[in-house]
Amino acid sequence: MQELPTLASFKMVLLWQNTKNMMNFMTLITFLLFIMPSISYSQYLGNNILLTNRKIFPKQEPISSYAVVFDAGSTGSRVHVYHFDQNLNLLHVGKDVEFYNKTTPGLSAYADNPKEAAESLIPLLEQAERVVPVNLQPKTPVKLGATAGLRLLDGNSSELILEAVSSLLKKRSTFNVQSDAVGIIDGTQEGSYLWVTINYVLGNLGKDFSETVAVADLGGGSVQMVYAVSREQAKKAPQVPQGEDPYIKKIVLKGKKYYLYVHSYLRFGKEASRAEILKVTNGSPNPCILAGYHGTYTYSGEEYKAFSPASGSNFDECKEIILKALKVNDPCPYGKCSFGGIWNGGGGSGQKTLYVTSSFYYVPTGVNIADPNKPNSKIRIEDLKTGAEQVCKTKYKDAKATYPLIYEDSLPYACLDLIYQYTLFVDGFGLDPLQEITVANQIEYQDALVDAAWPLGNAIEAISSLPKFDPFMYYFI
């Protein structure tokens, strides 16, 4: 006959079971405590320590990254330093959300002295190094993009300058200098980076292409027009001759694919266009020049006679000359062209809202068409014509007192520059004179201002390629 378990034996079984459960529980706790520090370190950076009453943990500081971008333009060199969090949102650099400074002249002014060209960047480089924390500098990408100024140099001058700059950065810089860090960015890159900048700051990235804005940039040597089109419209883009930039640029931003129509018109920036316009009159009086001026205009090593007829400048006569310089009547093999036989992208909802930058901002603000005290203003294209008609009546000797915001060397061309912009928009790009546009030097972002320029777009590309960021959210095809 089997004996019944005693009370004591029941107590022993319960004690053993509780002990086993406690051991399993303690094993679990030990395992969790073991892995927690590694989780903290993998998600956060920094050496600061947070002391609790039970355990010492690393102080949780969000991951952040810096990027340094040099804009080597035709009239000067500029440095931009950006600070991003792990979601590619801009963080403050001091009281602003970017550090910016510039120096003149541009690299192209040192065509005969590449070493001196590179050394002209040292003050800007040193300033950037003071902004980026020392421990993050080796991981901070640095980029230098040369634009139209170097594109227009003869021979191998631009190559020698870029080699000298690359050598300087590798020897002198504490930043991360990749093999492709220094180079001439083509018009397609410059335009698409600017489009990214403007739409990033406005919070449009990740939205449908119809909710983005178009951008146009008037630099010294070239002008760009960029806007997003539908996939169907992108398929209609004509093929370009070998060696030329394609009309469509594909990029993915916040996981959304965009098809950008982008074209850069070399020799039609503000300074370059003056030369093209003076070529038309070829040493004869030019009705785009203010009355009373008689001199020469120098661009890219070439001199052009610049003087007005006895009757002074004239809007209609000047516009006819500009139309010839733009070659608006060149054959258009694609059905819809801008000027010079260039496909215009077909227009559409991606172009309905237009932001214009660089000299598209400086010229109107210089004659008070747009408010010079605001970082951006809305005007109508027609306002450029109204302002030009007034400016063109001014005699050169009175121009400085009348328009004190215009640089002295630009005064003779105040009439020309305004008529050129109006003609470029209406006859070149085919826009309605009554269309409202935003002329922008800077754009509001959170509680600060961001430059309306291509370097931020370049910085986003550089940062998004780092291993810590999701490669499917941002990439440039």
Write out the catalytic residue numbers: 190
Tokens read off for 111: 């065509």
Query: Which residues make Cβ contacts (< 8 Å) with residue 119, sequence separation at least 6?
Result: 168
CB of 106 within 8 A of CB of 78? no
56-80 burial string, b = 16+ CB within 10 Å, else e? eebeeeeeebbbbbbbbbbbbbbbb
* CA 424/CA 428 separation, integer angstroms: 4
CA dihedral 366, 371, 373, 378 (to 10 degrees): -120
Secondary structure (H, E, C), 45-70: ECCCEEECCCCEEECCEECEEEEEEE
Q: Is the dihedral of CA 162, 166, 167, 169 positive or negative?
A: positive
CB of 192 within 8 A of CB of 249? yes
Tokens read off for 11: 């107590």
